[in-house]
Every structure is written in C-alpha cells, then in structure tokens.
Amino acid sequence: MLSTLTATVTVGSGPLTREEVVAVARGGAALAVDPECEAAVRQTRRVIEALAADVVPHYGVSTGFGALATRHIPVDRRGDLQRNLVRSHAAGSGPEVEGEVVRALMLLRLSTMLTARTGVRLETAQAYAALIDAGITPLVREYGSLGCSGDLAPLAHCALAVMGEGEVRDADGRLLPAAEALAAAGLAPITLREKEGLALINGTDGMLGMLVLACHDLRLLVATADVAAAMSVEALLGTDAAFAEDLVALRPHPGQQASAANLRALLVGSSIMASHRGPECTRVQDAYSLRCAPQVHGAVRDTLAHAEAVADRELAAAIDNPVVTVDGRVESNGNFHGAPLGYVLDFLAIAVADLASVSERRTDRFLDVARNHGLPAFLAHDAGVDSGHMIAQYTQAGIVSELKRLAVPASVDSIPSSAMQEDHVSMGWAAARKLRTAVDGLRRVVAIELLTAARALDLRAPLAPAPATAAVRDLLRETVPGPGPDRYLAPEISSAVAAVANGSVLSAAETITGVLR
C-alpha cells in the first residue's frame, strides 16, 4: 500500500524493482541518480559522437527512421533529424493518459538511459530525472502506440516536453505549455543531438509501466477476493471442508494452496460455520463458486506470478535500437518488440475476468431464495416494497460482461506500419490499456460482493461470524449501514470500492489472521 512505498528511489544502480516503479509513479517518491553510472554513460556517448562525422551510414545517427532508414542525412541536418523525429512521433490522440502511467514510462526510459546502452548524453538523462522530480507530467494521449519500435507516440510526447514543447501538467495538476512549466520549475529545455531523439522514444516503457502497476493492484485484489469469498461461504452456510490442507495438496499449484490457506484462516472461530457442521446437515458439497474458490483464485495468483516474473526480466532490460554494446559496437536489434509484455497483459485480463465472474456468481446466490438458505429475497428488508441488492448485482453483471470483452487478446492483432518495414507489431500498449480498465472493474465487483456478504452476515444474527470476517463487516459498517429499508445505493458501493482500493478491507482481516498469502 502507498504508506509502505519507498521515499527515495535511486536510478542507475541496477534494475529497478516493481516496488520502486510504483513508489515513483504513484507514491511521488523522490529520485536520485547513482553517480557511479555516470562515467559509463559518458563513455558510450563518446562512441556515438565518434560516429557522427562518419561517412558510413549509421541508423539513428546519420539516417532516417523506419522505412526511411535508407536516406543518408547530411551532418548539418542531424540536429533537425532528432528534433523532427520527436515532433512527428508525438502524434497521439484521444483521452489523456493517467499521470501515474506517464511517470512510470518516464522513469523506465530514464533507467534504460542510465544503463549506458543508448548513447545519450548524461545531461539528457538528468533532464528526465529533473522533470519527474519536479512533478511535471507530459500530456500523453490514449492512442498512438502499436507496441513495437517501442511505445513511440507516448514516449515522444514525453521527449517533446523535455525539449520545452507540447503540453504538461505541473505538480499542482494545471495544464500548461511545457516551456512555461519548465521555466517555473527552474529547468532548461534540452536540445537533442545525434541519436538522442531515437533513444528517447524506442522502448516498451509504457507497456511495462502499466504491467507493473497492474501487478501491484492485483496482489491486493486477489487477497481481498479471498476475504470476500470467505464471507460468502460463511453467510451462504457453506463448508470449509473442501479447503483442507491435505485436499488442496493433492493438486500442488502454489496459488491454490495460498488461497485455501487464506480461506481457512479467515473462517476460524465462526459460529455460523459451526451451526451446521453436525450430522444433521445433509449438504455434502457446495456449488462451484464456493467450493472451487481456491482453484480459481489460485490460478489467478499463479498467472500473476508469471506476469511478475516477466515484468522483473523486462525491468532488467536495456531496450533501444540501435544499442551501444559493452565492447563499443553500435548494433541494430529487435528488443523493442512488445510481444513478451503483450502476451502477459492479455493473460492477466483473462484471469481478471474470471476472478470477477466467480465473485459475481457468489453474489447472485445471496439474492435467490432458492439458493441462499433462508435469507430474504434479494436480502431486502421487505421484499417487494424493497429491492435490496437486486440492482447491485446488475452492476456486477454489467461489469463482468465488459471484462469478458476486455479479455479478448490484443496481442494477436498485428497491423503492419511504416511502409511494411514494421510488418509485425505487438499491440502491447492496447493490451495494457484494456487491462487497466479490467482491474478497475474487478475492484468494483469484489466490493459489491463484500457489501452483499456483509449484509447477509448481519441477517444470520444471532449467529456470529468469524472474528476476521466480522472485522471486515465492522469496517464496512463505519460508512455503510446494516440491513434496512432501501437506501441510495451508489454511495455505499463507492465507499466499499474505496475500502478495497486503499487496502483497508484486507488490513481489517489481517488484524485477526496475520498477513494473508
């Protein structure tokens, strides 16, 4: 959660961690550039400068770009080449991209610059660090990246701002011309030199930044989904027998084992569960949405672990084209292709949709008198006069339906560009954008399940819930009243969504259980 994020992040001392990216992008952590990387950055810059006057063409230094790479650029036009590259590629359109995403992609581009593999000047890297530290966020638009040759348009909008052009938001969120914002912060615009324009836009930083942020959010959400599932199992008079350690060990997926352990911990000491454990209970097994919660939630965990592994490998990468190798060669390569990121971004969207789907199914069971084991229809105070949580489930269903559409992969939909020079692209940016929408939808679905399950727990009185689930119910009761006649429901849903997003739901449960896995 934000309160635990690093206060200062040092860039250039090695690969950034996912936690450090979140700390800068979302938590506003300060930046420090490791002075030990400066000599290496200067050394590779000298390699580029040595090529600047070479009569032999070198991509990004003395040639055009993409399909125009065969055009040799005269020495006196190479400054124009870099400036024009950024200006022409800053061609984004559509809604404004969230500030945390822009900060993440700028930080990741800075990190690559400080690997000394791009050939930029040290002062160019320092200008990026200064812009981030000043809280100046370039205005980036939704559309423009195909996820190949890097996130070209988004990164170009950031490079444009460092040049003192385009639009930015300052630390107070005001939309200003970049030149005005830089001057107010005491920063000077940079003039790009050989290869620098290309180095500033040729990376997968937008895709990676969004993957890191999504993984961070999903770690919280999947544990919170376990809390919601435990409350639902309890309030629907389900059994925890299927979550036994020896049973889940028969199928040794680590995520499944973690989820089952969480459910067992959350349900300890429940009078509601104890009320139907005796031989008089004729129910031998629950519906899949209850009984298989560890299997579904666990599969989401394992998918997330795979995505985090991909993100960590990408954080250790130096992505540019061409690159300056350790032995001083300048070589073209294909490391900018976003396929590794696009695939896991799409994979996560599938997992998110299914986690939301099983949550919605549990919620729906509460509302049907044929399946809720003695609770009133729709959990209404006076069914017929009151509708209870009927339409809250509609909201869930609408979101889940949207999440299923968002689970359709973007990474299989390549569209050739640049006169067929870039004839296969990843669409990783699109995969990341839809994943952000999906994560927000999942948060809302889980919040509605929590609200519904908490209401059902109250309706089981005088039987008492487990201490952990009771702690969550009590947290929700601080802002959402218990059962009663129909009320304006939207603010109550918003309150629950906020409690999920800021981690307070999970924290309330963990005050009883300890840290959930």
C-alpha distances (whole Å) from 290 to each of 128, 243, 513 are: 50, 10, 20
437 three-state secondary structure: helix
Give the Cα-Cα-Cα angle 10, 14, 17 (nearest 5 degrees).
70
C-alpha distances (whole Å) from 120 to each of 62, 112, 126, 158 are: 15, 10, 11, 15
How are beta strands 323-324 and 330-331 bridged, if at all? antiparallel
Angle between helices 205-235 and 99-113 (to 10 degrees): 130
Q: Rounded CA gap, 258 and 90, in Å?
A: 45
Which conformational region is residue 105 in: left (phi greater than 0), alpha (psi within -120 to 50 degrees), or beta?
alpha
- And the tokens for 405? 């559409």
Dihedral angle sign, alpha carbons of residues 115, 121, 123, 128: negative
SS (H, E, C) 249-304: CCCCCHHHHHHHHHHHHHCCCCHHHHCCCCCCCCCCCCCHHHHCHHHHHHHHHHHH
Give the Cα-Cα-Cα angle 438, 441, 442 (nearest 5 degrees).
90
In this structure, what DSSP letter does residue 386 have? B
Greatest pairwise CA separation for the chain in angstroms:
91
Dihedral angle sign, alpha carbons of residues 28, 23, 356, 457: negative
Q: Rounded CA gap, 56 and 45, in Å?
A: 18
Q: Rounded CA gap, 435 and 280, in Å?
A: 47
Q: Are 373 and 233 in contact (CB under 8 A)?
A: no
Q: Which residues contact 46 (CB under 8 A, 6 or more apart)?
A: none
**Of the candidates 296, 419, 422, 282, which has an alpha carbon nearest to the alpha carbon of residue 351?**
296
Q: Rounded CA gap, 117 and 318, in Å?
A: 7
**Of the candidates 95, 301, 121, which has an alpha carbon nearest to the alpha carbon of residue 196?**
121
Dihedral angle sign, alpha carbons of residues 403, 405, 406, 409: positive
Q: Rounded CA gap, 213 and 209, in Å?
A: 6
Catalytic amino acids? 59
Give, rounded to a whole angstrom, the gap between the first and last alpha carbons of the chain. 15
